[in-house]
């Protein structure tokens, strides 16, 4: 399927589209886009399902009540996946694979993806948002914290990039 | 004007959820079409191979910044109808740093991983699993990182203000930087991969030109200062009340905004974390009786004081009935609090449902309920000595004022000219000289301390203190009102001096001089006319103890020793004394944890909050507690809190403190964080 995959969209036009979606979100919902909150809400639901008493007592998840999934960003997260799927099918880009460099073992890539996920999941909660909910959304309304977050994100990303470069070696 | 779902407080309505789903779908489609369903492409940005991430993000930001700025400028949407994330430097710097590392290691961020997973990438699923784990981990470690998470809250801070620019100039600058960045990105790609899709293309030139024109247009449109300012700073009050009323009514209909008294009682007894119970009645009513653990917040301070709990935990408001707190909740609601609840039927309902004795109830009560009611009565009616201890006594100059205690600025203003009232200002002299409360006397707290038998900075003996009071014309019946500037411990140390002479008629001015000034009460710069008095020099000090007594309590473990110095001194990391560390067995509770800095001044935290904090440290109100610091200064503040605000009855003061203990080599010392 990959062979017939269509080329990616012009990044500048994609950026304009993304900016319009974001503006629309602000005008309709009154809030921007978000992804990590949806993930955290799902985490709260899972923890609440496994350890209901403990979760209700915790300060952070506990504050979300008995049904943490009744939240607009959970719906947005599901929407994002649906939108991604629609587009991937339409553009012939749906293919089940573990993306990595040829010289990188699967286990290494899996470990790195998991570690990255853990760090990102934690950091998104700490900073009250991720690239979507904090950097892009807050940046669009010119919030200081969002710019600070964005700068720090790229600074540490570039600083750490060297150490994990081999996962993409072909 | 668009009423956003956020502005209406209806983000959880089914319509809003549906719209979120639709916006999510569009978001996902754009991300996928941009090629962000591939971790290889995303990571490319960190190796200068594929700069699409920066191109897309920068363009999206420029587009949205201009779109939203214009929408605000032309009143399409009001600023208060838009959710603005608070700026918290520490959490966002650290969060950003960790996030960047996670991003480059994992190859994904949350939004792109959702799209990656949808296009079949296993590593995206794994990454999402990791992110779920990271969220768990945050929840489990929340109590440890809470301080960092909330540290330095700047509330809503705009980047152009933070760097001292106007909004129009910032937007223009951002667009110009954007164009520059795009060309640089193409150059980088060209250099690293020998291939650039857009460098020098007609498209990029046209695109840059369009951006340039748009940037300048927006700059001109935003630049009109009169209308822009009007739009940016329209006060909350100007929002139509019906809007929030509709939302409120909507919630009331679904009973989402209430908590039943019984439910509240159970949660309070269980000690539910994150539950903030707020009494919005008047302060005298609050002091007379309130639901245990409640804090008193006047309506006007509600938003500011509850800001740290916005959408975190559960805020329960109550008054006598329902109207008052409903208004309060309305205010919070409009300010974006989705976690504020009303106590059904207010305090009246609570007393009726939870506290009325079983024997006085009209209907028979099943035994299990009766047990619960007795448990509630036990918890909520007994041993709240903070208020019980403050029942006013007869013969005091101001009716209803419990002494020693705290007097508010309004009451002082009403009584400042009474002959039996003397106001003493503890700020340093230049400040006093320029402006002070009319009729107040300046006093340097250090003049009440001296070297006693070789130990520096000890409170003077009774006869010398009596001499000082006589010079200031104070008599045993005088109500002494003590005013601090920024150091609450200054007035509490004077309180110790007064108490050494058995003078209980004193009160601290709530919020000190800064609060007085902020409230706009009168000040002048004149010296008062004072005639001498003769204050009797009887020593009535029953609370100061010396090192021998402290040592005996340490050996026999007969008292709780509370070391109120900053933690680093307690552990021994820092030391200005003969030896570092603390008295073996002493518990550390830094004195400054009892006060809170507000925009205007520094003041004691709400009594309910202090009560909860000390309940975990001191076993009972009758426990014997020895407070100390380095010289007795800071410890005087903790003494005042424990004895006069919280009603602990047996508090002793080791005045000579760590200065003496550290210098006496025969006394034991311990370092580290454990008692």
Residues A29 and A88 in one domain: yes
CATH topology of domain B547-663: Oxidized Rhodanese; domain 1 (3.40.250)
Chain B: residue nearest A96 by CA?
A: B120
In CATH terms, is domain B405-518 a member of 3.40.250.10?
A: yes
Mean pLDDT of B438-464: 93
B105 has a chain A CB within 8 A of its CB: yes
Please give the structure tokens belonging to residue B256.
Answer: 């989402």
Which among B604, B664, B606, B656 has a CA at the least distance from the CA of B627?
B656
pLDDT tens-digit readout, B74-101:
888 877 788 888 889 999 999 999 999 9
At residue B217, does pLDDT exceed 90? yes
**Chain A neighbours among B 21-60 (CB < 8 Å)?**
21-35, 37-41, 43, 46-47, 52, 55-60
At residue B276, does pLDDT exceed 90? no
Query: How much is the pLDDT for B485?
Result: 93
Residues A137 and A105 in one domain: yes
Q: Which residues of A touch B123 (CB under 8 A)?
A: 98-100, 109-110, 113
Which among B339, B353, B331, B374 has a CA at the least distance from the CA of B260?
B353
In CATH terms, is domain B241-382 a member of 3.30.70.3040?
A: no
Which among A25, A158, A48 has a CA at the least distance from the CA of B23?
A25
- Quote the domain boundaries for residue A28: 1-96
Residues A68 and A129 in one domain: no
Mean pLDDT of B459-485: 93
**Chain B neighbours among A 60-89 (CB < 8 Å)?**
60-63, 70-73, 75-88
Residues A105 and A120 in one domain: yes
- B538 preceded by a cis bond (ω within 30 of 0): no
Chain A: residue nearest B256 by CA?
A: A65
pLDDT tens-digit readout, B33-70:
999 999 999 999 999 999 999 999 999 999 999 999 99
Which of A96, A112, A139 is the last residue in one of the domains? A96
What string of H, E and C letters represents the secondary structure of chain A? CHHHCCCCCCHHHHHHHHHHHHHHHHHHCCCCCCCHHHHHHHHHHHHHHHCHHHHHHCHHHHCCCCCCCCCHHHHHHHHHHHHHHHHHHHCCCCCCECCCCCCCCHHHHHHHHHHHHHHHHHHHHHCCCCHHHHHHHHHHCCEHHHHHHHHHHHHHHHHHHHHHHHHHCC
Query: How much is the pLDDT for B365?
Result: 78
Residues A110 and A81 in one domain: no
Residues A33 and A22 in one domain: yes
Residues A91 and A15 in one domain: yes
B255 has a chain A CB within 8 A of its CB: no
Which residue, among A2, A13, A79, would best test binding to B if mutated, counting the most B CBs under 10 Å from its CB? A79
Number of domains in chain A: 2
At residue B385, does pLDDT exceed 70? no
Residues A70 and A150 in one domain: no
Mean pLDDT of B404-424: 87
Q: Which residues of A touch B276 (CB under 8 A)?
A: none
Chain A: residue nearest B179 by CA?
A: A12
Confidence band for A137, pLDDT divided at 50, 70 and 90: very high
Residues A115 and A31 in one domain: no
Residues A75 and A22 in one domain: yes
Which of A96, A126, A161 is the last residue in one of the domains? A96
Which of A80, A96, A112 is the last residue in one of the domains? A96
pLDDT tens-digit readout, A10-42:
999 999 999 999 999 999 999 999 999 999 999
* B121/A98 CB distance under 8 A: yes
pLDDT tens-digit readout, B333-354:
777 787 888 888 888 888 888 8
The ipTM of this complex is: 0.97
Query: How much is the pLDDT for A3?
Result: 52
Counting beta carbons within 10 angstroms of the beta carbon of residue B665, is it exposed (0 to 12), middle (13 to 18) or buried (19 or more)? exposed
Contact B404, B387 (CB under 8 A): no
Q: Where are the domains of chain B?
A: 5-232, 241-382, 405-518, 547-663
Q: Which residues of A touch B26 (CB under 8 A)?
A: 21, 24, 79, 83
At residue B115, does pLDDT exceed 50? yes
Question: If you write DSSP's letter for every residue of B302-359 in order, what string do you get?
Answer: HHHHHGGGTTSSEEEEE-SSSHHHHHHHHHHHHTT---EEEETTHHHHHIIIIIS-GG
Confidence band for A1, pLDDT divided at 50, 70 and 90: very low
């Amino acid at each position: 399927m990959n062979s017939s995959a269509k080329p990616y969209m012009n990044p500048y036009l994609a950026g304009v589209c993304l900016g319009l979606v974001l503006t629309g979100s602000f005008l309709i919902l009154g809030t921007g886009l978000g992804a990590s909150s949806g993930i955290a809400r799902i985490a709260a639901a899972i923890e609440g399902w496994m350890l209901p008493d403990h979760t209700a007592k915790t300060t952070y998840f506990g504050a979300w009540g008995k049904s943490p999934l009744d939240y607009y960003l959970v719906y947005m997260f599901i929407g994002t996946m649906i939108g991604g799927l629609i587009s991937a099918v339409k553009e012939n880009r749906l293919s089940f694979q573990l993306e990595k460099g040829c010289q990188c073992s699967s286990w290494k890539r899996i470990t790195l993806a998991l570690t990255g996920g853990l760090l990102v999941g934690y950091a998104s909660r700490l900073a009250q948002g991720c690239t979507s909910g904090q950097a892009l959304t807050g940046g669009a309304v010119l919030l200081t914290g969002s710019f600070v977050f964005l700068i720090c994100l790229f600074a540490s990303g570039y600083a750490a990039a060297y150490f994990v470069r081999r996962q993409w070696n072909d | 004007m668009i009423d956003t779902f956020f502005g209406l407080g209806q983000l959880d309505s089914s319509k809003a959820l549906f719209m979120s789903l639709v916006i999510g779908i569009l978001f996902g489609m754009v991300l996928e079409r941009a090629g962000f369903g591939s971790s290889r492409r995303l990571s490319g940005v960190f190796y200068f191979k594929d700069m699409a991430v920066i191109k897309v993000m920068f363009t999206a930001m420029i587009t949205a910044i201009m779109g939203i700025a214009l929408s605000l400028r032309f009143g399409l949407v009001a600023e208060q109808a838009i959710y603005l994330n608070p700026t918290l430097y520490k959490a966002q710097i650290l969060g950003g740093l960790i996030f960047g590392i996670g991003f480059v290691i994992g190859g994904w961020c949350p939004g792109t991983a959702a799209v990656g997973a949808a296009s079949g990438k296993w590593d995206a699923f794994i990454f999402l699993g990791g992110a779920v784990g990271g969220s768990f981990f945050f929840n489990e470690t929340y109590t440890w990182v809470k301080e960092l998470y909330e540290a330095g809250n700047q509330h809503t801070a705009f980047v152009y203000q933070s760097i001292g620019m106007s909004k129009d100039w910032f937007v223009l600058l951002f667009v110009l930087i954007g164009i520059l960045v795009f060309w640089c990105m193409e150059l980088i790609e060209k250099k690293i991969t020998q291939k650039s899709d857009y460098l020098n293309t007609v498209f990029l030139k046209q695109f840059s030109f369009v951006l340039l024109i748009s940037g300048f247009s927006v700059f001109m449109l935003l630049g009109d200062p009169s209308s822009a300012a009007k739009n940016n700073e329209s006060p909350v009050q100007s929002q139509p009340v019906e809007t929030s009323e509709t939302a409120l009514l909507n919630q009331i209909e679904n009973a989402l905004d209430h908590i039943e008294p019984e439910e509240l009682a159970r949660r309070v007894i269980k000690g539910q974390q994150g539950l903030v119970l707020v009494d919005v009645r008047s302060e005298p009513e609050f002091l007379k009786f309130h639901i245990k653990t409640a804090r008193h917040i006047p309506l006007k301070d509600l938003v500011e004081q509850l800001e740290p709990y916005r959408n975190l935990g559960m805020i329960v408001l109550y008054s006598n009935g329902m109207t008052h707190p409903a208004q309060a909740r309305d205010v919070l609601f409009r300010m974006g609090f989705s976690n504020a609840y009303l106590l059904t039927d207010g305090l009246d309902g609570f007393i009726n449902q939870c506290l009325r004795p079983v024997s006085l109830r009209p209907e028979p009560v099943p035994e299990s309920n009766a047990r619960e009611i007795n448990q509630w009565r036990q918890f909520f009616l007994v041993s709240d000595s903070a208020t019980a201890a403050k029942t006013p006594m007869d013969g005091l100059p101001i009716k209803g004022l419990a002494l020693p205690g705290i007097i508010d600025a309004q009451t002082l203003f009403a009584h400042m000219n009474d002959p039996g009232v003397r106001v003493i200002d503890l700020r340093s002299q230049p400040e006093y000289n320029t402006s002070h409360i009319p009729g107040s006397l300046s006093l340097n707290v250090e003049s009440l301390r001296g070297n006693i038998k070789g130990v520096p900075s000890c409170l003077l003996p009774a006869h010398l203190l009596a001499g000082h009071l006589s010079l200031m014309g104070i008599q045993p019946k005088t109500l002494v009102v003590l005013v601090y500037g920024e150091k609450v411990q200054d007035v509490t140390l004077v309180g110790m001096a007064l108490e050494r002479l058995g003078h209980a008629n004193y009160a601290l001015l709530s919020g000190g001089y800064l609060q007085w000034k902020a409230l706009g009460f009168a000040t002048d710069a004149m010296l008062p006319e004072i005639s001498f008095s003769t204050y009797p020099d009887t020593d009535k000090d029953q609370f100061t103890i010396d090192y021998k007594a402290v040592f005996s309590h340490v050996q026999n473990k007969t008292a709780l020793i509370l070391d109120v110095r900053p933690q680093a001194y307690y552990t021994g990391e820092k030391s200005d004394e003969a030896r570092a560390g603390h008295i073996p067995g002493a518990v550390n509770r830094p004195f400054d944890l009892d006060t809170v800095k507000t925009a205007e001044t520094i003041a004691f935290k709400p009594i309910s909050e202090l009560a909860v904090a000390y309940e975990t440290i001191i076993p009972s109100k009758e426990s014997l507690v020895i407070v100390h610091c380095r010289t007795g200064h800071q410890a005087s503040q903790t003494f005042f809190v424990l004895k006069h605000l919280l009603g602990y009855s047996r508090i002793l003061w080791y005045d000579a403190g760590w200065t003496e203990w550290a210098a006496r080599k025969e006394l034991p010392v311990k370092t580290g964080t454990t008692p």
